[in-house]
Structure 1
């Protein structure tokens, strides 16, 4: 039995990996934070019932977190991205908002980099937006089985105990999940992802071209099959030329004076917050997260969501010098 003394010290190191787990399950950093907080509250209330001869503290916490996630998913369902939900759009067509859709959101690396050795156990590749998006098309229990077994390395018996299921049902769910991800071409670790320094070099060149409103320069940095999507809009499109057409429209409609702030998300994916010139300052416009291959930028996931902005701690306005300005 765990006594009250030292209980917090025993469970606190697992917070970063539990946050990563709940994010993979829910597709929202905001929801993941809430569920981890709920997990710790439930664990505290049940601390006197914990029997360390039956399960490790880590396994016990994952069971609590999994129950919380499964309950949440019964009400909320999955969070796809537009490219996994509707057909590609005309880059010059009208923007259409997905009024009732809950979209996959990125997670800032700052939430996971807590300066704790436990962070090292997080599989960064399994946080990538493409993999997180593919997970959203699995059932909740398929998602749980796959993450617990293939990402976190729990045994079939441990996974069954965490999910409150039989080993046979876990293995069946895992087979279905693996097959669906294979069909979707989504793996935990991208096989052609360059080193972090090379990714930064691609994005720095993209930033410079963006600041110059150099559409042809942007296009030269893209792969032939590049995808741009921009939740909460349903619109998405593929291909370098379509990307260029849309960016030409963006600069014509929103101007060519921008300030950009670099960010990293989802286990090292580079990106930036784009601030549009408005009056004598700049207003937060979008958060853009990139997927980079060895041959160039293959995806730009563009978010325009207040909840996402708040999760990343982005100021809503900057003054002419790029300093945080009062919102108004």
Structure 2
């Protein structure tokens, strides 16, 4: 009888511990995932690291000595990310325009699938994450710090500089708190932070990305025209939406294009092999996005083609990043084959 009662009591204690852990940890899951994404540049890797983080935290929860649980969870997640980056062949994920000069002709060869490409982050996974940070140490608003160009820029930082910038300038941690997490001195954190800021200043001369507001009424009309131009294969209408110096990248292809005429020349040829498109509005990295389905002579179905992420400047499109990777559709909750209505 004693053994049965003891086992029952142990189960009750374990149940209360699990309940306490879930109550503290689950509301933080999405922001921890976003932190891992910023560190790693990959939604798929971030998902794996969140699972690892929560498993480590659950196993160590009995040893949690109080204090701020959120900071403790970030410490576990950050160390897991640093370990993952150390195990990688390259600590960076990139976009094509970070690897060379713009192309002139059409791509030749095959996509560079061996390159670790940056991935887009679905806006649906940003829901319920606080959009405002009252901490005066925060340098980047939440929507700025998730922009595709910003995430691409911080991937160029060494991992510990990346940590210092994300914790101090994005999350608003003090240098002393960051030093405790990294196991170093406050001076070393301030030094890493200064170097990270200097590197970003070459990308953002004004010290930060341009603020990204939600599309205005005029910009929403621009996006509607983009959708129609793609579905109608209206090359002139599409090119008219671009800034004169617009850029276009399409990982996993290394080639990228700069300027209206270069982009026009590419799509004048690329669209010839397509026999129809369906375009679905989406959102990624706090920016307008579309999921594009295409069909060809070889396959009459509308199958997943790419996720388009756009940067708007005024009444024109400044950048287009086309992620030509069908598996990303799953991240956006979209099917690989579109049922025709």
**How far apart, CA to CA, are the structure 2 residues paired with 1:205 and 1:64?**
45
Equivalent positions of 1:1-328 (< 5 A) are 4=17, 5-52=19-66, 55-76=67-88, 77-94=91-108, 96-113=110-127, 116=128, 118=130, 123-185=142-204, 190-191=209-210, 193-198=212-217, 199-255=219-275, 257-266=276-285, 268-278=286-296, 279-321=299-341
Q: What is the CA distance between 1:284 and its match in structure 2?
A: 1.3
Q: 1:325 is matched with which residue?
A: none
Mapped contact 1:260–1:273 kept (Cα < 8 A): yes
CA RMSD in angstroms, aligned pairs only: 2.2
Q: 1:302 to 1:46 in 2, by over 3 A?
A: same
**How far apart, CA to CA, are the structure 2 residues paired with 1:96 and 1:280?**
24
Offset from partner CA, 1:217-267 (integer Å, 9 cap, x none): 111111122111111110101111111111111211223x2111111111x
Q: What is the CA distance between 1:273 and its match in structure 2?
A: 1.2
Unmatched segments (≥5 aa) in structure 2 = 1-13, 134-140
Q: What is the CA distance between 1:97 and its match in structure 2?
A: 1.9
Q: What is the CA distance between 1:93 and its match in structure 2?
A: 4.2
Mapped contact 1:200–1:270 kept (Cα < 8 A): no
Mapped contact 1:284–1:317 kept (Cα < 8 A): yes
Unmatched segments (≥5 aa) in structure 1 = 322-328
Offset from partner CA, 1:118-169 (integer Å, 9 cap, x none): 5666812101100000011110111110010001000111111122221111
Q: 2:4 is matched with which residue?
A: none
Q: 1:218 to 1:265 in 2, by over 3 A?
A: same
The normalised TM-score by structure 1 is: 0.89
SS at structure 2 position matched to 1:23: helix
**How far apart, CA to CA, are the structure 2 residues paired with 1:295 and 1:306?**
30
**How far apart, CA to CA, are the structure 2 residues paired with 1:284 and 1:239?**
27
The normalised TM-score by structure 2 is: 0.86
**How far apart, CA to CA, are the structure 2 residues paired with 1:187 and 1:130?**
15
Q: Number of aligned pairs? A: 314
**Larger RCO, structure (CA 8 Å, separation 6 or more):** 1
Q: 1:250 to 1:187 in 2, by over 3 A?
A: farther
Offset from partner CA, 1:248-297 (integer Å, 9 cap, x none): 11211223x2111111111x211111111245431111111111111411
SS at structure 1 position matched to 2:327: helix
**How far apart, CA to CA, are the structure 2 residues paired with 1:273 and 1:186?**
32
**How far apart, CA to CA, are the structure 1 residues paired with 2:206 and 2:53?**
28
